Amino acid sequence: MALKLTARQSQILDLIRQAIAVDGRPPTRAEIADTLGFRSANAAEDHLRALARKGVIRLSAGTSRGIQLVEANEDATQALRRAPRDHAPDDAPPVRLAQAADHLLLPIVGRVAAGHPILAAEHVEREIPVGAGLFSQTPDYLLRVRGASMRDVGILDGDLLAVRRSPEARNGQIVVARLGTEVTVKRLERQGGRLRLLPENPDFQPILVGPGDDFALEGIAVGLIRTDALH
């Protein structure tokens, strides 16, 4: 059974997850201290060591960004535990739950049909309430992750990726992209005039986007919800 996190530990874990999703790397101790108003980076280090002892992160010695996520924040999955299971009949209408002042009501997008808008009604499995404070930026939807190509940054098959719709992204950000008939989650790399979509798993190859390819950015990852607690 996972150990209970304090409110401050949950806050730091959310900050780490958001930094990885948005910037592609964990924060430094100094950045954590600055964001949360600690007097020194040592205070952040103490909290990180406590999180490591509880088994939710791993720390690597000798590097300021040596933080690796191990498991999802329990607070991030509370809304999913209260929400209905995925296994409703195919003809069941989407479940709509009341939106509290401190929650977002977000659609869960499943498989996307070729050529259809990502938020088309037929792609939405249901809507769930999610704590607004979980994300550094307000997402527009949750995309159900398929496959293991982003495994090494903690984005696993079945996870819900919080996505903010945007046609633009910075180099190094994790994005949802449409290439031909496929929608994929990858890290964006721009080098000169070259554009690549990079996996975070050595078992997968980078995708080179050519000048004549049918390519579009659907959005930017701003957070993640682990759903394994549901199964």
For the annotated catalytic residues, the residue numbers are 149, 186
- Long-range own/partner contacts, residues 95-98 (CB < 8 A, 24 or more apart): 95/126, 95/127, 96/127, 97/127, 97/128, 97/129, 98/129
- 105 membership: H or E segment, kind and range: strand 103-109
Strand partners, 198: 187
CB atoms within 10 A of CB 107: 18
- Greatest extent of the chain over all pairs of C-alpha atoms, in Å: 55
Phi first, then psi: give them for residue 64, nearest 5 degrees: -70, -20
- CA 112 to CA 166: how far, in whole Å? 17
Comparing C-alpha atoms, which of 83, 88, 60 is closest to residue 130?
A: 83
Comparing C-alpha atoms, which of 185, 9, 152 is closest to residue 69?
A: 152
What sign results for the dihedral spanned by CA atoms 78, 83, 84, 86? negative
- 177 membership: H or E segment, kind and range: strand 174-179
